[in-house]
Structure 1
């Protein structure tokens, strides 16, 4: 279940892929998946999850089984198979494909150092000269959010400037020895495509990836294809919000904007059917994981053999999957982001249907989690108010006590403030060092962020009121009846 802390693992700028998960081995589908069955499942899924909208495509053996949209966008328009959606880190598989087209043309050498092929790429670490293109694509380069200034990188508006800013960064590990998900890998790969292909990255994708596949409504710039604003869930309510500005236009790590109809053409090509984009051998290379980790080139490889990659921006969530065993492909895209990632769950349900299994029931986890957070926020606010109103009684009970003991009794109420102050830090720690900013935490994680803020303010208010009451009270005039009365209503 991808929720709460699991959701935090997709919070930073652009999300990590779905990683291998245990699943039972199954054979070919018992019966063909029909458009009616897909449509019925999706309508039930949106009703159960409460998503404001989604677009979905299912492919099989070179054909589109079903492509459709559900719900509405932030401007009230019905979502269709042609509605533009940001797909975030799903973009990585497109960037890998662009690289492979240049590998086939002899313009990029997959197993030779990037530094020898990309002018302007230098780092403050001699090991960087050994990083190969393959290691960028399978995320074993040693690049890490912990050793590069991600915030500074995202201030850049060109891939050339982005690459130049890496001059002061270092690697976290020797190339090829450690897997770590880092968007820098794919933005460097996009810059390499520009240099080797002689075109702007967006133009290269248009001419050599989107164009050959007939993906006429896809781009890596919202100046070319403009998606509507998406939504965040705040205590169960969907609120439309503009996308948080970041290095999106031209980004190889997460800039792609596309539609369900176009994703159908992409999935058909990735399963080796339909119009070929690259040779079969290149497809196999892209889909083969490294020896270090079950991550291939823009695809996570699950234990069942299904290839999956998910993506999460601030108001958009997406997942793509292809099954070499069954020939099915799936893409689920939503114009929303929340603590619960329902796109992945819906994709698993479609996978189950394609294998003749019954999907796991979809529920209201998002509403449950956010309802619990709302209850905690209300409780914290109530306790803070009581603690403030009864500050004089609290001070009277501790009249004459040593200052260190009074200070110790004040500390618990300040704990939420400490948690809030270190919020991006411990979130980043839970995400294995991926950079998370305050601005990002106000988007999909808004319910958790608001709850922490309310608890911190409540605790701080009670603490200040108690400090003032202690400072104003004459220790020698304490009323024993009040001092000895157990104040169970205030904050401990």
Structure 2
């Protein structure tokens, strides 16, 4: 082990790595530099990294601090978001191996109370859930925007309101609802709470002694888990995760070391580092082999890159992100960061790929600070919006004199476009979900976590333009009461001034 003194001179970062002489030490330095570069460019106060090979953990490190000012280490407990799906899928596959669940049996057989209005719902199988091909999407069941359940049973009841975007098995569409239902199947078939099953059959046998799963955020978070962060204008204020139901889909709380042990189970055909068999022989390969041209297998994402296939899964909360990656060379990469997904930052996946490049001896290019640049551009738009808004309000008198006496419909046509920023503000969850999130659901509040700078700009633009409308209408009405200098007060209503038309 050696301390990375050079990195400490750049930032208040603690890092302890296993060191092999010469080549391994150089690799450690490159990993440390990559993490520091990523943390600075993407706005992460703290990151934990562990690298494995088939023999065990080869490198472990913690960088930076959490929101309480405590040093991040490889044993710091943090959420890993949708990396949890790999464990939910594994729990289902254990029941498959035991003959208690069949992947190609309809979900209705295991959840007899689960019925959706679409008759095609009877065709959804367990396999469809685990491969994200059930036909349920975030657009047919807006799982983040709807009232949040408190239990898997309640999540199952909520899912009865889903419709199907496609026939089951026809198309891939990522949604947490599929894994809420998969976890509920584990509960119903095993006869015990999902968390208890994971503890007994997954966490404990794999040696994941500091791992648990929760139902809702932030209420169920263990006391030793600090709030994560959001990023705004280069700053990283701490923030509690919004209230959401997460069990089965993204509710696992763990450490980088425990998550590395989970990767070792994958790298050794289902056997834990201490020799305990967690998954039946051949199950890992089955879970990590997608069908046809698909890139999502049974709870795992597969990238058939030019350097060889890589298997992994990303995890995104609004205040934390995580990634795991298994490379063709036999390395496993774990990255957990205490800042959420944001505009200009797609999570820790880029860092995981860079570390994989370093461990495999490939060139890893520095990461540009896209997140900061994005926020600075939005900051410029926000300042310009404020200046123009103040200027418009200051020139209200001139505008009123120019438009006094005009037909009400002409004035309405002039003012109507100023409702555009308000329409944009309330449309943003749908637009961002479609354009950036691939159809994922997000609420207006959650969007404020995703990009405070974007919400500040659109919010200020909406307020400034609504204020312009109100002040100009009031100005016209006051002028009508005092006696307009231009325009007639009689004639057809369509040609009367705005104030007079409004008063009639």
TM exceeds 0.5? yes
Q: Using the TM superposition, give the Cα deviation of residue 342 of structure 1 relative to its aligned residue in structure 2, in angstroms.
A: 4.5
Higher relative contact order (CA 8 A, sep 6+): 1
Q: Does residue 414 of the first structure (1) align with residue 412 of the second (2)?
A: no
What corresponds to 1:449 in structure 2?
455
Query: More deviation in 284-293 or 185-194?
Result: 284-293
Q: Using the TM superposition, give the Cα deviation of residue 148 of structure 1 relative to its aligned residue in structure 2, in angstroms.
A: 2.8
Q: Using the TM superposition, give the Cα deviation of residue 151 of structure 1 relative to its aligned residue in structure 2, in angstroms.
A: 5.3
Between the aligned partners of 2:43 and 2:425, the Cα distance in structure 1 is 29
Q: Using the TM superposition, give the Cα deviation of residue 56 of structure 1 relative to its aligned residue in structure 2, in angstroms.
A: 1.2
Between the aligned partners of 2:198 and 2:29, the Cα distance in structure 1 is 34
Kindly name which structure, 1 or 2, has the bigger radius of gyration based on alpha carbons: 2
- Is the 8 Å Cα contact of residues 441 and 449 (structure 1) preserved in structure 2? yes
Q: Which of 201, 204, 214 is 2:207 aligned to?
A: 214
Aligned counterparts, 1:367-382, within 5 A: 367-382=372-387
Deviations 1:243-264 (A, max 9, x none): 112113xx11110111111111
Other structure's SS at 2:384 match:
helix
Q: Does residue 54 of the first structure (1) align with residue 47 of the second (2)?
A: yes
Q: Using the TM superposition, give the Cα deviation of residue 388 of structure 1 relative to its aligned residue in structure 2, in angstroms.
A: 0.5
Q: Using the TM superposition, give the Cα deviation of residue 108 of structure 1 relative to its aligned residue in structure 2, in angstroms.
A: 1.2
- Is the 8 Å Cα contact of residues 41 and 370 (structure 2) preserved in structure 1? no
Between the aligned partners of 2:80 and 2:426, the Cα distance in structure 1 is 31
Aligned counterparts, 1:121-132, within 5 A: 121-132=114-125
Q: Using the TM superposition, give the Cα deviation of residue 475 of structure 1 relative to its aligned residue in structure 2, in angstroms.
A: 5.1
Structure 2 CA distance for partners of 1:406 and 1:138, relative to 1, 3 Å: same
Count of residue pairs the alignment pairs up: 445
What corresponds to 1:257 in structure 2?
253
Aligned counterparts, 1:110-129, within 5 A: 110-129=103-122
- Is the 8 Å Cα contact of residues 67 and 264 (structure 1) preserved in structure 2? no
Structure 2 CA distance for partners of 1:149 and 1:422, relative to 1, 3 Å: closer
Between the aligned partners of 1:239 and 1:35, the Cα distance in structure 2 is 30
Between the aligned partners of 1:384 and 1:145, the Cα distance in structure 2 is 37
Q: Does residue 199 of the first structure (1) align with residue 164 of the second (2)?
A: no
Query: More deviation in 55-64 or 424-433?
Result: 424-433
Q: Using the TM superposition, give the Cα deviation of residue 231 of structure 1 relative to its aligned residue in structure 2, in angstroms.
A: 0.8
Other structure's SS at 1:307 match:
strand
Between the aligned partners of 1:369 and 1:173, the Cα distance in structure 2 is 36
Other structure's SS at 1:357 match:
coil
Between the aligned partners of 1:107 and 1:226, the Cα distance in structure 2 is 37
Between the aligned partners of 2:43 and 2:175, the Cα distance in structure 1 is 32
Between the aligned partners of 1:62 and 1:153, the Cα distance in structure 2 is 45
Aligned counterparts, 1:464-483, within 5 A: 464-473=470-479, 476=485
What corresponds to 2:66 in structure 1?
73
- Is the 8 Å Cα contact of residues 320 and 332 (structure 1) preserved in structure 2? yes
TM superposition score normalised by structure 2 = 0.83
What corresponds to 2:283 in structure 1?
282
- Is the 8 Å Cα contact of residues 56 and 260 (structure 1) preserved in structure 2? yes
Between the aligned partners of 2:230 and 2:462, the Cα distance in structure 1 is 23
Q: Using the TM superposition, give the Cα deviation of residue 186 of structure 1 relative to its aligned residue in structure 2, in angstroms.
A: 0.4
Q: Using the TM superposition, give the Cα deviation of residue 188 of structure 1 relative to its aligned residue in structure 2, in angstroms.
A: 0.6
What corresponds to 1:267 in structure 2?
263
Q: Using the TM superposition, give the Cα deviation of residue 172 of structure 1 relative to its aligned residue in structure 2, in angstroms.
A: 2.1
In structure 1, runs of 5+ residues without a counterpart are 1-30, 479-492
Query: More deviation in 252-261 or 305-314?
Result: 305-314
Structure 2 CA distance for partners of 1:288 and 1:53, relative to 1, 3 Å: same
Query: More deviation in 59-68 or 405-414?
Result: 405-414
Q: Using the TM superposition, give the Cα deviation of residue 137 of structure 1 relative to its aligned residue in structure 2, in angstroms.
A: 0.2
Between the aligned partners of 2:230 and 2:43, the Cα distance in structure 1 is 12
Question: What is the RMSD of the two structures over their aligned residues, measured on CA atoms?
Answer: 2.3
In structure 2, runs of 5+ residues without a counterpart are 1-22, 215-219, 488-504
What corresponds to 2:335 in structure 1?
332
- Is the 8 Å Cα contact of residues 153 and 162 (structure 1) preserved in structure 2? no
What corresponds to 1:247 in structure 2?
245
Q: Does residue 351 of the first structure (1) align with residue 349 of the second (2)?
A: no
TM superposition score normalised by structure 1 = 0.85
Between the aligned partners of 1:149 and 1:37, the Cα distance in structure 2 is 42
Q: Using the TM superposition, give the Cα deviation of residue 46 of structure 1 relative to its aligned residue in structure 2, in angstroms.
A: 2.5
